[in-house]
Structure 1
Amino acid sequence: MPEHIPQEPGEFAGRTALVTGAGQGIGAAVATALAARGAHVVATDRDAHGIDELAAASRGTAGQVTPRVMDVTDPTAVATVIGDVVRDHDSLDLLVNVAGILRTAPVAELTDADWADTFAVNTTGVFHTSRAAAAHMTARGSGCIVTVASNAAGIPRTGMAAYAASKAAATMFTKCLGLEIARSGVRCNVVAPGSTDTAMQRSLWTDDEAPQRVIAGDPETYRTGIPLGRIAAPEDIAEAVVFLASDRARHITLQELYVDGGATLR
């Protein structure tokens, strides 16, 4: 008979997950979705306010959210937090890399600081967390890493060279890591969102008509619209992460799942 693969609300019961960038937006949605399914989520962010609110809101769910301040650009801090998680919970079953920043400008106007800061968080931060988590997971012989990148990693965007390049690098890093550690039983996948209703997305909007322009597309910037006719909610991205993190996806690794309403026409 086929093996039973759990799909119940408590499918992550007994598992420990660490989510970066959990103070708002997609990170908060991912942490909430995992806790609702029974995971003990260590919600990290460099700002305590959002993760403290998240932990308070999660009380009464099937799982638990523990807030922990962590800056992904600091390798010592990352190693300390992940070491503490393993010590306190005996395992780290799941890492979700969500922390990210956006600096927009034409390439000719990008500053060195914009470029360095973008890569420090979006790429090097993923390296720091994934390296530390993978060392534990491979020793245990199980685990899962999901990196939330962007559809901008797979299609050129005007004014977004630093962001797109950093997300493309994080995507390929995650796949290479996944190849190296697959025989240890650890899976690594990527979720690539399109336009999603987050603070980052809203920072690009200049008026009330901006969301409709995103959906319609803009030929002047060579940008297609969104065929499904809507901007994603953070929960849409979180559900894709939860699937790839679950045993339902136990034979999926090195993959990149676009969740963009068809915007990249892939």
Structure 2
Amino acid sequence: MNGKNVVVTGAAGGLGSAISLTLAKAGAGIAVLDVNPDGARALAEKIRALGGNAVPIVGDLTTREGAHGLFAEAVRAFGHIDGLVNNAGIYPRRPIFEITDEEWNASLGVNVRGLYHMTVAAVEHMRPRREGRIVNIASIDAFKAHPKNSHYAATKAAVVSLTKTFGLEVAPLGILVNAVAPGPIATETAKKMGFLPSIEAETPIGRAAEPEDIAEVILFLISDRNRYMVGETVVAAGGYYIP
């Protein structure tokens, strides 16, 4: 990844932090994009302390203007952007009869609309150079039903579908779009929510993923080592979902 620059959305914590650190250690410059200013600055400082190159970028990506403005800020900071990881997402849990319109709209806004706007901004920037990589973070919940997360699952199914269409449309431009659908990840948030033990009991590998396990898959897809995968969703779930 030496000489490459990557925008990572939702980068300040959990999986986003692991992705950013993994790519930075591989040599990439990282635009640490998050709605949390303190978290974005702290991670950028951590990457720089490790000898990497990172710039915090703070803002809301759920509108077209916001997303394009944030991507433009990353371009100004690095000169060119070679990759985008659409990691930003929210994970509300609620029974179907209790989901409010506000929760539906928030889930769609971050998990789908924000991803769409960031992808369009990235393609517009990458198209003249005819090269680039985009990785979307889907979820095992797009394929395997769980209670209390119908709105989250719906958005992640949309990510899988969008990845196919994006891949089809922009591969002729030299831009490869793929997705990763993680299973359970042992982030601090997931640990606090308390659902990991029951899922780990059903996982053949016997544990939830560490964030770095998923980040390594993303590293391959965002790098030039991926030369032929387009529109694919890679399931990385420790055997928790085997169709």
TM over 0.5: yes
Look up the match of 2:138: 149
In the alignment, the residues of structure 1 paired with residue 73 and residue 105 of structure 2 have an alpha-carbon distance, to the nearest angstrom, of 29
Aligned residue among 196, 199, 208 for 1:214: 199
Look up the match of 1:247: 224
Report how far residue 203 of structure 1 moved. Answer: 4.1
In the alignment, the residues of structure 2 paired with residue 26 and residue 58 of structure 1 have an alpha-carbon distance, to the nearest angstrom, of 15
Residue 128 (structure 1) aligned with residue 113 (structure 2): no
Residue 236 (structure 1) aligned with residue 236 (structure 2): no
User: C-alpha offsets along residues 21-63 of structure 1, whole Å, 9 cap, x if unaligned?
Assistant: 0010010111101111111100000011111111121124353
What are the residue-to-residue correspondences of 1:34-183 with 2, within 5 Å?
34-61=23-50, 63-183=52-172
SS across alignment from 2:231: coil
SS across alignment from 2:30: strand
SS across alignment from 2:181: strand
In the alignment, the residues of structure 1 paired with residue 206 and residue 216 of structure 2 have an alpha-carbon distance, to the nearest angstrom, of 19
Gapped regions of structure 1 (runs ≥ 5): 1-11, 217-224
- Structure with higher Rg: it is 1
TM-score where L is the length of structure 2:
0.95
User: C-alpha offsets along residues 204-223 of structure 1, whole Å, 9 cap, x if unaligned?
Assistant: 21xxxx5332212xxxxxxx
**Does the CA-based 8 Å contact 1:105-1:160 persist in structure 2?**
yes
Whichever residue aligns with residue 23 of structure 1, its letter is: A
Gapped regions of structure 2 (runs ≥ 5): none
**Does the CA-based 8 Å contact 1:37-1:62 persist in structure 2?**
no
Report how far residue 110 of structure 1 moved. Answer: 1.1
Look up the match of 2:14: 25
User: C-alpha offsets along residues 4-32 of structure 1, whole Å, 9 cap, x if unaligned?
Assistant: xxxxxxxx111110000001001011110
Aligned length: 243
TM-score where L is the length of structure 1:
0.87
User: C-alpha offsets along residues 79-129 of structure 1, whole Å, 9 cap, x if unaligned?
Assistant: 112123223433110000111101111211211111111111111110110
Whichever residue aligns with residue 258 of structure 1, its letter is: V
Q: Provide the aligned C-alpha RMSD in A.
A: 1.4
Whichever residue aligns with residue 157 of structure 1, its letter is: H
Residue 261 (structure 1) aligned with residue 221 (structure 2): no
